[in-house]
């Protein structure tokens, strides 16, 4: 039996006391740092903080009968997404940015956008979304439940990011905690712009409508 699996079958060995407010793995209670991995509870539609051991355990296909899935670290970036303003209107997204992911429990793709109240779901026309995916094949291979296609509308068009699902909820947290008034405020927009700048830096550049490709760092 692997060490990771054994921790769910055997009594926990008492360790050093954990200071109040310290982050712990939500699967085994192991202390973890501020920067840590995540695991998706598929049935509960929950994102869970995980230690390295638990995260590695659930990278194995079929672990826990698929109930838990490790969030991967893949980042892809399409600077020029094949998406028109008319498409955006058809997708019924009323704001600048939204993310789309396949929910395996619901059996469909879900559209969400960050708002001061958290992640807000928008009804997604399936035919329009399939057309958008067909026009952007480099970003079509999004893994269900653990990855998302994050779309950002800028002055020069739309950019697409294939990212781990936890990155999307990081963006949701920024908007929820920093947004002020109707327009958001300077602090919120600076944080959002910094977030997308980091995604661009981290992402491997993939082809846009013309099929260009390039490199990036993981």
Query: Exposed, middle or buried, 180 (CB in 10 Å: 0-12/13-18/19+)?
Result: exposed
196-206 pLDDT, tens digit each: 999 999 999 99
DSSP state of 216: -
Could you give the CA distance from residue 149 to residue 168 in angstroms, rounded to a whole number?
9
pLDDT reported for residue 64: 72
Enter the pTM of the model.
0.82
| Residues sharing a CB contact under 8 Å with residue 169, sequence separation 6 or more, in sequence order | 47, 119
Helical segments of the chain, H only:
3-6, 52-57, 85-90, 126-135, 165-178, 186-202
Q: Do residues 100 and 151 lie in contact, with contact meaning Cβ atoms separated by under 8 Å?
A: yes
pLDDT at 209: 46
| The dihedral formed by the CA atoms of 123, 126, 127 and 131, expressed in degrees to the nearest 10 | 100
For residue 100, the cross-strand partners are 111, 149
Is residue 137 within 8 A of residue 62, CB to CB? The reply is no
Q: What pLDDT does residue 61 have? A: 76
pLDDT digits (tens, 9 = 90+) for 72-128: 999 999 999 999 999 999 999 999 999 999 999 999 999 999 999 999 999 899 999
Q: What is the pLDDT of residues 152-162, one digit of tens each?
A: 998 889 999 99
Query: How much is the pLDDT for 217?
Result: 38
């Amino acid at each position: 039996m692997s060490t990771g699996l054994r921790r769910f079958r055997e009594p926990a060995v008492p360790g050093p006391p954990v200071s109040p407010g310290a982050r712990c793995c939500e699967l085994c209670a192991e202390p973890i740092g501020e920067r840590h991995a995540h695991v998706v509870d598929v049935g509960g539609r929950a994102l869970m903080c995980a230690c390295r051991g638990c995260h590695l355990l659930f990278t194995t296909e079929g672990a826990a009968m698929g109930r838990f899935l490790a969030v991967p670290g893949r980042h892809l970036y399409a600077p020029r997404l094949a998406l028109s303003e008319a498409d955006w209107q058809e997708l019924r997204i009323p704001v600048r940015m939204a993310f789309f992911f396949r929910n395996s429990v619901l059996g469909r793709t879900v559209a969400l956008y960050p708002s001061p109240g958290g992640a807000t779901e928008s009804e997604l026309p399936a035919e329009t979304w399939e057309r958008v995916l067909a026009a952007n094949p480099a970003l079509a291979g999004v893994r269900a439940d653990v990855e998302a296609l994050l779309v950002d509308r800028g002055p020069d068009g739309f950019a697409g990011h294939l990212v781990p699902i936890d990155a999307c909820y990081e963006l949701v947290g920024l908007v929820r905690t920093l947004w002020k008034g109707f327009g958001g405020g300077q602090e919120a927009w600076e944080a959002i712009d910094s977030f997308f700048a980091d995604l661009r830096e981290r992402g491997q550049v993939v082809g846009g409508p013309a099929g260009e490709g390039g490199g990036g760092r993981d």
